[in-house]
Structure 1
Amino acid sequence: MSLLIIGATGNLGRQIVKQALDEGYQVRCLVRNLRKAIFLREWGAELIYGDVCILETIPRCLYNISGVIDTFTTRPFDTQKSIEIDLYSKIYLIHAAQVAKVYRYIFFSIVNAKFYNNVPLMNFKVQIEYHLKESTLKYSIFQVEGFFQGIIQQYAIPVLENQAVWTTKETISLAYIDTIDVAKITMKSLNNPKMEKCILPLLGNKSWSSTEVIILCETLSGQTVKKRYVSLTILFLLRKILLFFAWTENIGERLSFIEIFTKPIMNKNVLQNWVQILDTDFMTINRIEIYLQDYFNRILQKVKTLNFEQNKNQNQNNNAKIDKF
């Protein structure tokens, strides 16, 4: 099977590319910047230029493609509006995939997105789910909440650098999952008839609040961090201000996510459905404690090595000065 992977340079996309290549799939990656994606070619993937916001570049990317895996979404620094990337381009992609007679189509959505219609990205995800259900494609929709990799930038790095961590006093918890596990599950679903025309929440083995994640990072790193809490009222006000200006509209849309902190947690009884459907051992899924422990161990080992080298060089310089005298 030949696969077209969109969003291949992202945290999830690159893991899916690697897993697909390891399992012998022919992989084509739609990329905007060929230079930044050169590592994918070195892995064995085919690179093809395409931009989801330049619709005429999409059809040729689908030539001789059996399956499409769409992991792409708006990034905070994208200059295009979210509606162009997360809605219009994806609707066109679904249409083009039908014309190209693509056999399988995998899309990544967000858990409980239908309950947050006022959040633009959530609303777009729901609309794409609808278009896939109305299409002739054999689709699989995986709904996720968060990835381990996102925790590094948001919590782990500030803890290591003794920076303040900004958060809210929310009660909502997220069932983070490792992108490596998601990649393995994605590949396993491709040839599973049960996954055709299927929508499945894909969650980790435990839900974590931001406070719990911060405490875990402090425990594993042996460092404490200053916590800064911001009022939801202030965030709501800031969102309205940013949405007023065209050049800050994308940031304002991102702040719309604060709405999820004001609603009760939805029922997650479907947590292990995917384990049964894909015949997967739930205990093999990576745990956030192990993932972060490995991360901090590697970082702290690098720090020790760097300090050792610096001390060694300093001693050599001191000895050289003494020899001169």
Structure 2
Amino acid sequence: MTVLIVGATGTLGRQVARRAIEEGYQVRCMVRSAKKAAFLKEWGAELVPGNLCEPETLKAALSGVNAVIDAATSRPTDSLSMRQVDWDGKVALIQAAAAGGIERFIFFSILDAEKYPNVPLMEIKRCTELFLAQSGLNYTILRPSGFMQGLIGQYAVPILDGQAVWVTGDTSPIAYMDTQDIAKFAVAALRLPETEKKSFPVVGSRAWGAYEIIRLCERLSGRQAKVSRMPLGLLRGVRSTARFFEWGWNLADRLAFAEVLASGKPLSSSMDEVYPVFGIDKEEITTLEAYLQDYFSRILKKLKEIDYQTSKNKKQKKKMPFTF
């Protein structure tokens, strides 16, 4: 089976590509820049040029493909708007896949998207789910709530650097999952008839609040966090200001999603019925404790090596005789 992966250079997409390659699928990745995607080619993937916002490029990318895994999403720094990428682009991709007779279509949405109609990204995901369900494609929708990888920049790095960790509002407990584990569900769905035309939550074993994560990072790093609270009113003010400028639209839409994370409502769901369907053992899924433990162990070891080498170099310089 040949699988086209869209968004393969992203945090989640690259793990999906790696997993599919490891399981023996012929993997094709649609990319805007072959240079930035060179690592995918080294892994064994075929690279094809394409852009969600250029529908005329999709037909060639889909030629000879049996299945599509869509892990693409817009970034706050993109020149194109969230609507252009996550709605117009996805609609074009779904239509092209239906016209091309694609056998399976795996789409990543967001958990509880239907509960936040006033948040652009959540509403776009909800509408895309509906459009996909009505497309005639044989689809599977996976709904993660948060990636463990995102916690490194948000919590771990600031704590190690002695910088402020920003916490907003009441903070929603989130059931984070490692993107490598999420990729397992996406690739498994390709071969499982039980997942066809259905939606599934794909979340971690428990929801973690911001202060719980901070305390865990403090314990694992041996360092104390500098916590700063951002009032929700200030966040809304920044969002309103950003909406006045075209360059700030993506930022404003992302800040709207930040309000979801500051609402205090948990983003979590039971996975008891999901694991058996996908044939995945719950015990094989990485816990947040294990993920952060591995990160801090590797980083602290590296820091010790750097300190040792720096100290060694200083001693050698002191021993050097004067030269003329």
TM-score by length of 1: 0.96
Q: Percent identity?
A: 42
Residue 273 of structure 1 aligns with which residue? 273
Letter in 1 for 2:135: S
Residue 170 of structure 1 aligns with which residue? 170
Shift of 1:76: 1.4
**Contact between 1:3 and 1:67, CA under 8 Å: does it hold in 2?**
yes
Give distance in 2, aligned partners of 1:95 and 1:190: 19
**Contact between 2:176 and 2:288, CA under 8 Å: does it hold in 1?**
yes
Residue 38 of structure 1 aligns with which residue? 38
* Greater mean deviation of Cα atoms: 32-41 or 234-243: 234-243
Residue 180 of structure 1 aligns with which residue? 180
Residue 63 of structure 1 aligns with which residue? 63
Residue 161 of structure 1 aligns with which residue? 161
User: What's the CA shift string for 1:173-231, capped at 9, x where partnerless?
Assistant: 10000111111122212111110001001110110011111111111111112111011
Where in structure 2 are the equivalents of 1:300-315 lying within 5 Å? 300-315=300-315
Letter in 2 for 1:308: Y
Shift of 1:169: 3.6
Residue 119 of structure 1 aligns with which residue? 119
Letter in 2 for 1:215: R
TM-score by length of 2: 0.96
268 and 174 in structure 1: CA distance in 2 versus 1, 3 angstrom threshold: closer
Letter in 1 for 2:33: N
> Are residues 1:298 and 2:298 paired?
yes
Residue 6 of structure 1 aligns with which residue? 6
Shift of 1:276: 2.4
Shift of 1:171: 4.3
Residue 131 of structure 2 aligns with which residue? 131
* Greater mean deviation of Cα atoms: 255-264 or 148-157: 255-264
Give distance in 1, aligned partners of 2:267 and 2:317: 64
The unaligned stretches of length 5 or more in structure 2 are none
Give distance in 1, aligned partners of 2:266 and 2:309: 52
Give distance in 1, aligned partners of 2:47 and 2:219: 42
**Contact between 2:5 and 2:68, CA under 8 Å: does it hold in 1?**
yes
User: What's the CA shift string for 1:78-100, capped at 9, x where partnerless?
Assistant: 11000000000100100100111
Letter in 2 for 1:141: I
**Contact between 1:62 and 1:100, CA under 8 Å: does it hold in 2?**
yes
**Contact between 1:141 and 1:200, CA under 8 Å: does it hold in 2?**
yes
Letter in 1 for 2:304: K
Report SS of the residue matched to 1:224: coil
User: What's the CA shift string for 1:13-70, capped at 9, x where partnerless?
Assistant: 1111111111111000011111011011011100111111112111110000000000
Cα RMSD (Å):
1.6
240 and 59 in structure 1: CA distance in 2 versus 1, 3 angstrom threshold: same
Shift of 1:321: 2.9
Residue 256 of structure 1 aligns with which residue? 256
289 and 269 in structure 1: CA distance in 2 versus 1, 3 angstrom threshold: closer
Where in structure 2 are the equivalents of 1:81-100 lying within 5 Å? 81-100=81-100
Shift of 1:263: 4.9
Give distance in 1, aligned partners of 2:171 and 2:157: 23
Give distance in 1, aligned partners of 2:29 and 2:39: 11
User: What's the CA shift string for 1:254-303, capped at 9, x where partnerless?
Assistant: 11114325656369554332112113221211001111011011111111
Letter in 1 for 2:107: F
Give distance in 1, aligned partners of 2:176 and 2:258: 18
> Are residues 1:149 and 2:180 paired?
no
* Greater mean deviation of Cα atoms: 210-219 or 84-93: 210-219
**Contact between 1:200 and 1:273, CA under 8 Å: does it hold in 2?**
no
280 and 87 in structure 1: CA distance in 2 versus 1, 3 angstrom threshold: same
Residue 50 of structure 1 aligns with which residue? 50
Letter in 2 for 1:294: D
Give distance in 1, aligned partners of 2:185 and 2:3: 15
**Contact between 1:7 and 1:13, CA under 8 Å: does it hold in 2?**
yes
**Contact between 1:143 and 1:200, CA under 8 Å: does it hold in 2?**
yes
Residue 74 of structure 2 aligns with which residue? 74
Report SS of the residue matched to 1:148: coil
